């Protein structure tokens, strides 16, 4: 009888696995700049801050969702949204429920500095601009893309909308946005919300060294990771180096390898 029960248990487990009862995973792809590709277990793809078509895993289609945090060339392809047939949400505040994905756009502040890179303003000129945080919930995982936010701290309203973040996409050192190791704005903001995983975008060797004084640091040679709610999400904040600079930075700070 015991043997029969064991056989039945194995059979049921195989059947459940075959019909797709395994827990859903989110694929996160990052390979430089601020462009991030998110794919739910049902195949819904969200691309944030598209700037490099050649870095996409597959070409954009009408079933995709495109989010843009602000109007800078390394976050937005000029005129792409005019030919894109899918859902485009550009620099917008609000809430959207699309297929199996829930998206919230939150206005935030940013600054810019012209370093002589060809902008139609004098070199050395500065200014402020709107930047939009996007909170993407899929398969029980909350991903927050902060674009190029430059604020001393989050407002109470922003914090209430951001909530508990599993994966944060965040900049730390970017001269064009006056965020660096002197003001440590990026670090302060992440310490406010304490996400489980931080994937850095605009950063540097110096920022990477400082990261290690705050959080455990990991790296992956893969451009894509899989995240599952309740598994593969650390309890405490850690930094994950991805993208084309990950190997050199990881070696410098002796980061541990991320196990997918």
Per DSSP, the residues of 207-253 read HHHHHHHHS-EEE-SSSEEEEBTTBS--SS-EEEE-STTHHHHHHHH
Strand partners, 48: 36, 67
Classify residue 17: in a domain, yes or no: no
Total structural domains within the chain: 1
Whether residue 163 contacts residue 188, with contact meaning beta carbons closer than 8 Å, is answered with no
How far from each other are the two terminal CA atoms of the chain, in whole angstroms? Answer: 39
Q: Give pLDDT tens digits along the chain (260 positions).
A: 434 434 343 333 333 334 444 679 999 999 988 999 999 999 999 999 999 999 999 999 999 999 999 888 788 888 887 889 999 999 999 999 999 999 999 999 887 656 555 554 445 556 678 899 999 999 999 999 999 998 999 999 999 999 999 999 999 988 777 788 999 999 999 999 999 999 999 888 999 999 999 999 999 999 999 999 877 788 899 999 998 777 788 888 999 999 87
Q: What is the per-residue pLDDT for 10?
A: 37
Determine the pLDDT at residue 168. 98
Residue 18 belongs to a domain: no
Is residue 190 included in any domain, yes or no? yes
Under DSSP, the state recorded for 166 is S
Is 108 part of any domain? yes
Q: Is residue 93 part of a domain?
A: yes
Does residue 22 lie within any of the structural domains?
Answer: no
Q: What is the CATH number of the domain that holds 59?
A: 3.60.15.10
Domain region containing 211: 27-257
Residue 44 lies in a domain: yes
E-assigned strands of the chain?
A: 26-30, 36-39, 45-48, 65-68, 87-90, 94-98, 101-113, 126-138, 141-145, 167-170, 197-200, 217-219, 224-227, 238-241, 256-257
Q: Which residues pair with 29 in a beta bridge?
A: 37, 224
Q: What's the confidence (pLDDT) of residue 116?
A: 55
Output the pTM of the full model: 0.86
Whether 14 is covered by a domain: the verdict is: no
Closest CA to 224 of 23, 24, 66, 26: 26
């Amino acid at each position: 009888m015991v043997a029969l029960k064991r056989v039945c248990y194995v059979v049921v487990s195989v059947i459940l696995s075959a019909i797709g009862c395994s827990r859903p995973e989110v694929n996160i792809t990052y390979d430089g700049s601020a462009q991030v590709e998110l794919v739910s277990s049902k195949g819904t793809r969200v691309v944030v801050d598209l700037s490099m078509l050649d870095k996409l895993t597959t070409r954009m289609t009408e079933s995709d969702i495109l989010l843009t945090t602000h109007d800078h060339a390394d976050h937005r392809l000029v005129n792409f949204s005019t030919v894109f047939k899918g859902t485009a949400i550009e620099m917008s505040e609000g809430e959207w429920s699309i297929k199996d994905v829930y998206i919230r756009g939150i206005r935030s502040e940013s600054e810019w500095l012209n370093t002589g890179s060809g902008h139609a303003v004098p070199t050395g000129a500065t200014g402020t601009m709107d930047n939009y945080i996007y909170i993407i919930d899929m398969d029980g995982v909350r991903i927050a893309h902060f674009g190029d936010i430059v604020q001393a701290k989050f407002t109470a309203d922003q914090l209430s909308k951001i909530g508990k973040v599993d994966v944060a996409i965040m900049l730390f050192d970017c001269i064009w946005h006056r965020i660096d190791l002197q003001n440590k704005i990026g670090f302060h903001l992440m310490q406010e919300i304490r996400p489980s995983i931080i994937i850095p975008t605009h950063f540097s060797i110096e920022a990477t060294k400082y990261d290690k004084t705050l959080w455990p640091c990991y790296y992956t040679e893969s451009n894509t990771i899989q995240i599952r709610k309740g598994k593969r999400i650390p309890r405490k904040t850690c930094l994950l180096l991805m993208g084309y600079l990950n190997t050199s930075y990881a070696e410098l700070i002796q980061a541990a390898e991320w196990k997918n």
